[in-house]
Every structure is written in C-alpha cells, then in structure tokens.
Structure 1
Amino acid sequence: MERPGLITQLGMARSFIKDVYVARAKTEYGARVLRAPVARAITWPGRLDPYPYFDQVRDQAPLSPSPREPNVHLSATHDVCKHILKSREFGVGGRTIVGKDEVEFSMSLLEMDPPEHTRLRRVAAPAFTPRRLTAYGTTIEKTVHERLDAVPPGASFDLIRQLAGPLPIRIISELIGVPEADDGLFLRWGTALGSALEGVHSLRHAQQVLSAKLGLDAMFERLVQERRADPRDDMLSMLVAEEGGAVRPEEILPLCTLLLVAGFETTVNLIGNAVLALMRNPDQWELLAGDPATYAPRVVEETLRYDPPIQFTDRVALQDSTIGGYDVPAGDRVLCILAGANRDPARFARPNFFDITRTDNSDHLAFSGGVHYCVGAPLARLEAEVALQVLAERMPTLHFAAKPKRRNSVTIRGLRSLPVTAGA
C-alpha cells in the first residue's frame, strides 16, 4: 500500500476534525450552563471521578431524555441498560466510531446488527475456544514473568508501561499472527487507534491516528499475502481461508483492527484499574496477596463491575419501544452508561465499595450484553487473572511509588501511568 504524502494526510485529517470544536463547545455548554450530569462527567475534572454524575442520571429517572441532544436518551439503571443491550428491538444501527470520507476507521463487528454481525462473529469465535485459551494461558504466564523479571529488585516501575500494556499486545499478536518483532509498532499503532475511540482532538492527533491506521493496514496486507501462500494456525489464516465465503476481502483488515484495538484497550485498562483499586484499598490487596490463586478471578470480576474499562455504549431503537412506561421512538438512540449501571444500588449491595469478596457482581455489564457481548471476554479475563495472580505472588508488598495519572478520556477509563514498587 502506498502511503499518502504529508499534504494529502493533512487534508484527510481536516475532514476528521471539522466538527470537533462545535462538539466541544456543546459539551462545555451542557456541563457549565445546563449542568447536565453526563456533560459534567465527560469534561475535566469530572472525568477523574464520573460516578457521582452517573448516580445523578440514575436518580433522575430510569430512562431520561438528553438535555442537549435531540432524539437521545440516557440510562444508568441496571435493569434498563440490560434490557436494551439484550433486546432485539435495539441495535447498533451501523454507527461509525471515528472516520469518514477517504479514510474510515471501521470497527466492523461493533457497527453491525444481525445477520451480518452473526456471520462475522461466527468467523471470529474459533479464536477464543477453550483449547486456544489454554494455549494463550501458557504465553500469558510466560510474558508476565518476563516483564516482571526485567524489574530490578525493589525498584519502582510504571505498571502500565512495564506490564499492563505489553501483555495484551503480545497475546493479540499471537492470536492474529503478527511476528513478535513487530510488537513495538503494534503497541504504538494500537494505542493511537484506541485514543481515537474518543474522537480526534486536534490536527496533530488526527494525523497520528491516520498514520497508525495506514501503518496497520500495510502490515495486515503484507501478512494476508503471506498467509495466502503459507497458512498457519492463527486468526489471519482463518480469515484468509474464509475469504470470498463467510468473509469478504474488504472485511479482513477491519476485523484485524477490531481485534487489536478492542483486545488491547480492554485488557490494559482492566489490569491497570484493578491494581489501582487494590492499591487504594490495602485490605483488598492483602486478601489477594494472601491467596492469589483464589482471589485473582474475584478481583477481575469486581474491577469489571466497580471501574470498568468501557464506560458507555449506545443502541438505536429499531422500532418504537416502551421501557418501564418510557417511550423510545424508532431511530432514537439510548446511551447506556455501563459504569453507572454497574453501581446501581437496586442491583448491587454497597455499590461504591470495592469488595473482592462480594458474590453479587456476576451480573455486571462491563462486556455489554446480547448479541454484542464481547467475544474476547474470556481472553481478557484470563490475561488479567494471570497478571494479577503472578504479580501478587512475586510482589506481595506492592504499593504506590508515585501518584498515578489518568488518561484524558471518557468512553475508555484507564491510566496513563501507575508507578508502583515492591521495595521500601
């Protein structure tokens, strides 16, 4: 693939940010003038702790109209969000995450409803069978040990840079079939595309996203050509084998991009949010450190409920619908505040407490629900469980080394850095 020149890239980038400043002004108006809870949650400093604003949305009504967006409705109520996510009366409606015009940043499965969604999901599902998860488990454990081996005894280190980020990249690389030598590029491009899930914020950011997309496309096209000549036991080979049948040629690159971005963003932030919650609740860390094998899975589930990596998702009404006496006309959108639903006191006892001994957290919505339930959820859970278990076994005295720094993001909740140490 020939990469566009700088002038062409800048022109393409401008099409990305045409509406950025208008959208930002509307959000600021909603936060400061209308004092709308969701608008306040997504503007600084509300992003640091959006949960009180989600509580306000839930307290207003189970489902309510957006104060600043016509034909948009909001819910942070568990039962309502769960119903919408599982109901065939609602779908994703072919949404586009970021791009348009010459360069479309497609997330394929996320933008499709059945039957197209069913067709592609069936192709991706074999990558997450129990047999493959067992194989990934070996690589996960080996990678975690290698990453921790590189930390000098008693030294401080950034958990995101040293462990939480590199781990999912290595596993996704193995899953898709990307050579280990390309992990560094894969990590950089995946991070750039993940940042675009929030939209683009400047011309420079748009150019970075475009560059990452073009680089990934070129890498995947090269690997697809290699798999056509020499199939292997990886996801790319599965997709190539289905080419022209269950998979259209133009769908291969978006599917690979989805596996990278979704797999990376979910896992890096799940691990980071889990360790942050444990460090802020030393009694919970002590439970994990005392019995890592037992408590690591519980930490993962409680983190998914308490501070999930994905805070929101939306659905469009495919027909006129009524939920709890509230009418949603066909074509309207509902913003499901997953993080708010996961702290609904009608569903979870003491919802604002991080408690790895709780038994009522299995019904969280962190991985969405219905036909769009995250196909990679078992792998994300496994990566986080192994990482937390090994971390607690090897560094039982882990604690903060410096103040963590949050990502300036809304839909994705995670950390830019998490300095920790097992030393004095």
Structure 2
Amino acid sequence: MSLLDTARADLRLGRRLATLRAGTLGLAALGDPVARLFQAPWKHDPYAVHERLRCERRLTWSRSGIWVASTYDDAHAVLRDRRFGVRLANGQQPFDVTGGPVHEGTEPDVLEMSLLGLDPPDHGRLRRLATPAFSARRIEAVRPQVEATATRLLDALDPARGPVDLVASYASPLPVAVISDLLAIPPQHARQFAAWGSTLGASLDGVTSVPHHKRLLRAQADLRALFERLVAERRADPGEDLLSRLATAADGPDAVTADEVVALAQLLLLAGFETTTNLVGNAVHALLQHPDQLAMATEDPSLAGRVITETLRWDPPVQLTARVAHEPVRVGPVDVRRDQVVLVLLGSTGRDEAVHGDADVFDLTRPEGRDTLAFSGGAHYCVGAPLARLEGEVALRLLLERWPGVRRAARPRPRGTTVIRGWRTLPVRA
C-alpha cells in the first residue's frame, strides 16, 4: 500500500471512528444502556446500569441495534443455546476493529481464527486440541510452579519501604511467567507480552483512534510473527511443552492449519494473563474496600479460594460477551431474529438478586450458589478457567500470608475499558 493509499485509509477510519463516537455519545445522553457501558463515567462503575436493566427481567433492546441479556437466567439461556454462535449465520464476523458492524475494507480481528471467533465445527476441533492441557490433573501439577513464581515475585518486593504497584509488580508478571513456561516461550520474548496484551486487550472495546489502530496492527503483526516462527520451530523439533503439542497436532486426526495453531497460541497467551491479572487485581481491590472481609482473609489465608469465587461473582474481569442468533430464537418473551446480536452482561449476572441474596454485598461467608458465568458458558466456556482460578487462589493466599497488613497506598487507576474490567495501577503498602 502506498503512502497515499495509507493516508486515505487512515482518513476513512478516522471519519468512521468520529461518526461512531458521536453516535455513542448521543445514545448515552439519551440513556441507552449499551452506549453508557462504553462511555465515562458509567463504564468505570457499570453495576448501576446493570441493575436498571435487570429490573425489566427480560432481554432489553438497545438503540445501537442489539439485544442485551442482563439477568442470570437470560444470559445462561443464550450462552447454552446452540442456536446462538459468535459469527453471523453466513460465517462472517459481526463486528470490525472499531466495534461497529463489519464493512468492506476493515482489518480482521487478531483472534478471528481462535476459539473466541469460531463456531462449530471448527470451534470444537480446536477446543479438543487445547482442552487436555487444562485438565484438573494437569492444572494441579502446575501448582508448585505457580507457587514458586509467586514467591519469587514477592521476595523481590518490600512494601514496608514504600508503595508497591501490585498490578505491575505481581498481578501481571505472575500469569505472564506461568503461561510463558507452559508454552516454553523464551524469556527475552516473555517480557514483551504484557505490552502486547495491554494493546490487544484494550482493542476488545474497539479501536479509539487512528494511532491506536496503528499500535494494534503493529502488536498483532509482532505477536503473529513470533508465534509463526515458534510454531515452525516446534514442528521441526518438538518438546514436551504445550506449544509443541499444539504444533504437532496439525498432523493428527483433528488436523489444524498453521494459521489456526498460531491463533490458538495467541489466545492462550493473551487470555492466560489478561484474565488472571485483572482477577487478582479486582480481588485485592475488593478486599481493600471491605476491611471486615480483608481481616477475615488475613486471619485465614486458606480463604483465598473463596475470595476468588466471590470476586468472580461480584466484580469479574471479563464483563461481557456477545452471541449471534443463527436462526429465530425465543428468549423468554422476546423473539430474537436471525443474525441479531445479544450482548451478554456477564458482570450483571453475578449481581442478580433473583439468584444471589444481598447480591451487591461482597461476602466471603456467602453459601455456594449457582455456577458463575464469569467464564462465559456453553460451548465457549473459557477453556483456561481452571488455570485462572488456580493462579488467583495461589497469588492471593501467598500475598495474604506474606503481607498481612496490606492496605491501599494511593488511589488506584482503573483500566478504563468496558469488556475487560480491572486496574491499571493498584498501589499498596504493608
């Protein structure tokens, strides 16, 4: 593409983004719930918007042209109904990089060929490839490695001497190290993953500017180039690591292409640390907001697993997902037409009073209830959920054991994104 063509493409994208931004602002001013979830100040604390939506006890129509599922029952029904998928009925993606409808000339999403972007039968074929690596036996076998990594990170910190940013120093490097070890990524590359993950994770809301789009394309290209090289190396000389198993499975009965292996590896890497980083950050922040619960967990750090479970209900890192009707579907009293999109508010389902008593209260003594939808549900249930839970439990337990006096040192900075909810910085002392 010539410089002139690039300039013209940038101009078209800039105009499209400006139009979408103006439209979203206008809809937010009119009270549209979807628009508000993607606009400040509502996106920084979306739960009031969720509560208003749940009052209707049914799918809600947004002027942006999509349905919204906010109750546990509606979300559960949509996620488990095989008449819904993640693509349009003709196989196309429903959204482009701007977060708007796909139109000619937009770039494909980095995860389009991964588990997140595929419907059956391709989805099942790739999922069967990844699932064995996350079995209960294999995940439990990783526990010593997670504990050793968390211990090493905590050993390098001294919160008594000054504020420590828990995200940058602990919650982020822990899962990066773990997933890098599982994939046998060389250490010199692992250091780049957090930066790539931040760029790609923020893009789940849609690109916000032409420079943001350029950063996204650069991160996509760099990450893809790395994995293309690593996959080729593992196919030629496989080891015992997860990436080698994925690469050599391209020759098995569930044959996958090299592009699919690369996309799957990227997903495992990005989801493998984005989810855990924000789960740990949200869990610590929730405890700091609730001194009585923090005291309980500090007195008995074995409650760390309960803290993670309650955080997944009360303030999950992944706030929403989308499904597309592949045929007409009736959800409660609402008829969803073919190719209509349903935005599933995962973060809202955990606050549904019809399922959880005192749902707005963060309570470690809460009796076990219905399964969380924090990791989605149905065919697209997060394959890495067991690893995220384990990492979260270990990270929090060791933190509480080592830093029993942990407290907030300064105001934390939120990520400012809608799909992924978490903290950019979380300064603490102990």
TM range (shorter): over 0.9
- Deviation at 1:163? 0.5
Secondary structure class of the residue paired with 2:250: coil
2:116 match = 110
Alignment deviations for residues 386-415 of structure 1 (CA, whole Å, 9 cap, x no partner): 000000000011000000110111111011
Question: 1:79 is matched by which residue type in structure 2?
Answer: D
Distance 1:421 1:379 in 2: 28
Alignment match of 2:308 (pick from 297, 300, 312):
300
Aligned to 1:322, what secondary structure does the other structure show?
Answer: strand
Q: Give the aligned partner of residue 164 of structure 1.
A: 171
**2:32 is aligned with 1:24:** no
Q: How far apart, in 1, do the equivalents of 2:8 and 2:163 lie?
A: 43
Q: Normalising to structure 1: TM-score of the pair?
A: 0.92
Structure 1 residues 298 and 176: alpha-carbon distance in aligned structure 2, compared to 1, 3 A threshold:
same
Amino acid at match of 1:369: G
Aligned match of 1:418: 426
Which blocks of at least 5 consecutive residues in structure 1 are unaligned? none
What letter corresponds to residue 188 of structure 2 in structure 1? Answer: A
Paired residue type of 2:154? L
* CA contact 2:355–2:370 (8 Å) conserved in 1: no
Q: What per-residue deviation string (whole Å, max 9, x for no partner) do you get for residues 24-80 of structure 1?
A: 111111111x212332232111122110111111113411211x123x111211101
Residue 235 of structure 1 and its aligned partner are, at CA, apart by 2.0
Q: 1:370 aligns with which of 362, 365, 378?
A: 378
Deviations 1:73-100 (A, max 9, x none): 1121110110110111211125366547
| Mean CA deviation greater in 394-403 or 203-212 | 203-212
- Mark the CA change 1:16 to 1:229 in structure 2 (over 3 Å): closer, same or farther: farther
One-letter amino acid of the structure 1 residue matched with residue 375 of structure 2: F
Matched, 1:80 2:74: yes
Structure-2 residue corresponding to 1:40: 36
CA distance in 2, matches of 1:413, 1:273: 8
Q: Which residue of 2 aligns with 1:355?
A: 363
SS in 2 for 1:383: helix
SS of 1:379 mapped into structure 2 = helix
SS at match of 1:88: coil
Name which of 311, 331, 336 aligns with 2:319: 311
**Cα displacement (A) at 1:229:** 2.4
Tell me: CA distance 1:102–1:305, structure 2 relative to 1, closer, same or farther (3 Å). Answer: closer
Q: Match for 2:83 among 74, 86, 89?
A: 89
Q: Which residue of 2 aligns with 1:56?
A: 52
Aligned residues: 415
Please state how far the C-alpha of 1:259 moved relative to its aligned partner: 1.0
Q: Which residue of structure 2 aligns with residue 187 of structure 1?
A: 194
Q: Relative to 1, partners in 2 of residues 1:98 and 1:137: Cα closer, same or farther, differing over 3 Å?
A: farther
Q: Which moved more, 1:266-275 or 1:176-185?
A: 176-185
Q: Secondary structure at the match of 2:335?
A: strand
- The residue type equivalent to 2:196 in the other structure is W
Q: Does 1:121 align with 2:127?
A: yes
Q: From the superposition, tell whether residues 118 and 395 of structure 1 become closer, same or farther in structure 2 (CA, over 3 Å).
A: same
**Which of the numbers 273, 294, 298 marks the counterpart of 1:289?**
298
2:325–2:339 CA contact under 8 A, matched in 1:
yes
The two structures have a TM-score, normalised by structure 2, of 0.91
Unmatched tracts of structure 2, length 5 or more: 98-104
1:329, CA displacement in angstroms?
1.4
Match of 1:335 in 2: 343
Structure 1 residues 97-129: Cα deviation after superposition (integer angstroms, max 9, x where no partner): 654756642241111122111100000112212
Partner Cα distance (1:91, 1:334) in 2? 10
Identity of aligned pairs, percent?
44
Q: CA deviation at 1:190?
A: 1.8
Q: Give the deviation of 1:5 after TM superposition.
A: 10
Question: Displacement of 1:153 after TM fit?
Answer: 5.2
The one-letter amino acid paired with 2:72 is H
User: Does residue 146 in structure 1 map to residue 152 in structure 2?
Assistant: yes
The separation in 1 between residues aligned to 2:158 and 2:50, in whole angstroms, is 41
Could you say if the C-alpha distance between residues 168 and 405 of structure 1 is closer, same or farther in structure 2, counting changes exceeding 3 Å? same
Listed one character per residue, the Cα deviations across residues 136-165 of structure 1 (whole Å, up to 9, x for unaligned) are 212211111111111125032000000111
Aligned partners of 1:97 and 1:105 also within 8 Å = no
Q: Compared with structure 1, are the counterparts of its residues 5 and 193 closer, same or farther at alpha carbon in structure 2 (3 Å cutoff)?
A: farther
Q: CA-to-partner distance for each residue in 1:288-337, whole Å, 9 max, x for gaps?
A: 111112x1110011000000111111111122111222111122111111
Q: Deviations over 1:215-268 (max 9, x none)?
A: 111211221222122211122211221124421122121111111221222111
